[in-house]
Amino acid sequence: MRVQYLYRAVSNVKVQLGTVRHVVIVTKPDDPFLVPLTREVTIWLLETYAALTVHVNSTMQSDTRFKADEMRVRYGARTKYWNEDIAKHVHIDLVVTLGGDGTVLYAANLFQRHVPVIVPFHLGSLGFLTIFNFENYRRYLSAIIDNGGMLVNLRMRIDCSVYKRRSEVKDAGTAGTAGEKILEKQVLNELVVDRGANAGMVQLDLFADDVPFTTILADGLVIGMCPARALSANGSLVHPEKNSVLVTPICPHTLTCRPMIIPGTKRLRVVVAHQSRTTAWASFDGRNRIQLNHGDSIVVTAGRYPVITVSRENQSTDWFSSLREVLNWNERKMQKPLLTPCSVSEFSDHGRD
């Protein structure tokens, strides 16, 4: 069964982790306020669970506020320091993020295949994905590690494969997936293809299941299953259980080039047109930015490795709550009610009194 058809079933069933042996703490970088909090959580986990090993960012090893030497004396090898290749060396059972939405994206990016369950604590700027207050971290983590069961949010990622055009292929748009695959990334929020530092627009050919359906002249294009950056480009809000892909042009040259919502089962391909006056640049959840020359392409499909985050209530309630509490969606000062003839008369009588 495809992953996208498991959403409703998983979001309504309590999940148990089993025995937790290795926990990774991903802390928002360059925030000195979070280093002592990282140390606090690490000590609590090590003191509370004797069989647990906690992995913190390697930058903590040289940060005097984390006191790595003291941690080594007290807990020995149970405190470890991770690098970006941690997924290749250790089986991680649980990820704890301390930061904002960008920290959750970074944590998911560390695991390009199977992603451990993520517990996101809100210590950043926005907090659409980070739904837990840090003040109650002991209660939340205890419930999860002690296998009390938890509801989860299952978020689909898109698989983005970048192909460099072969020199002998004149038209990558009509030659299928032409060229050598140089990069493959699992993306949670969005793929962005834009004009970079070029002054002019970029011309992008779009294909669905290898059938051409449009050419876009614009500053760029946002493709993803999460409406994060797409909202800034007048994109749509889409519930995560819809498993749809948003295709949102950035400042298109034609007024009829509107955002699209297409099924997640479609295979999309974006090609930098040979007629384009500029090259393009691509980024994946804001990282790994690369240049795309004429004829280079990116194939986008539904990913096989979703991101699982712990839910505060359930996936749908969490999503609607984030719209209201974080984005202040559709909030405004309400209109005053119209006065009925009866109320006008009462108001007039009151004024004469």
Query: What is the band of 46 on the pLDDT scale with cuts at 50, 70, 90?
Result: very high
Class of the CATH-defined domain 158-302:
mainly beta
Span 196-249, pLDDT tens digits: 999 999 999 999 999 998 999 999 999 998 777 777 777 788 887 778 899 999
- For the CA atoms of 151, 154, 155, 159, the dihedral, rounded to the nearest 10 degrees, stands at 150
- Domain spans in the chain, listed from the N-terminal domain onward: 3-155, 158-302
Q: Which residue has the tokens 């002592």?
A: 36
The reported pLDDT for the residue numbered 131 is: 86
Give the residue, 11 or 71, on which the prediction is more confident: 71
- Interacting residues of 210 by C-beta distance below 8 A, sequence separation 6+: 176, 267, 269
Give the residue, 182 or 174, on which the prediction is more confident: 182
CA distance 233 to 227: 10
Residue type, 347: F
Which stretches within the chain are classed as H helix?
A: 7-11, 34-48, 68-75, 101-110, 137-145, 315-325, 341-352
Average pLDDT of span 127-136: 87
Query: What is the band of 1 on the pLDDT scale with cuts at 50, 70, 90?
Result: very low
> What is the layout of strands, in order, in the sheet containing 244-250?
260-263, 244-250, 220-224, 191-194, 280-284, 287-292
Q: Which of 93, 97, 80 is nearest to 46 (CA)?
A: 80
**Which one-letter DSSP state was computed for residue 17?**
-
The reported pLDDT for the residue numbered 313 is: 76
Query: What is the band of 170 on the pLDDT scale with cuts at 50, 70, 90?
Result: low
Class of the CATH-defined domain 3-155:
alpha beta
Is 267's pLDDT higher than 70?
yes
Span 333-349, pLDDT tens digits: 888 888 766 665 665 66
Q: Which residue has the tokens 């990116």?
A: 298
Span 91-109, pLDDT tens digits: 999 999 999 989 999 999 9
The reported pLDDT for the residue numbered 165 is: 86
- The sign of the torsion formed by the CA atoms of 263, 267, 272, 274 equals negative
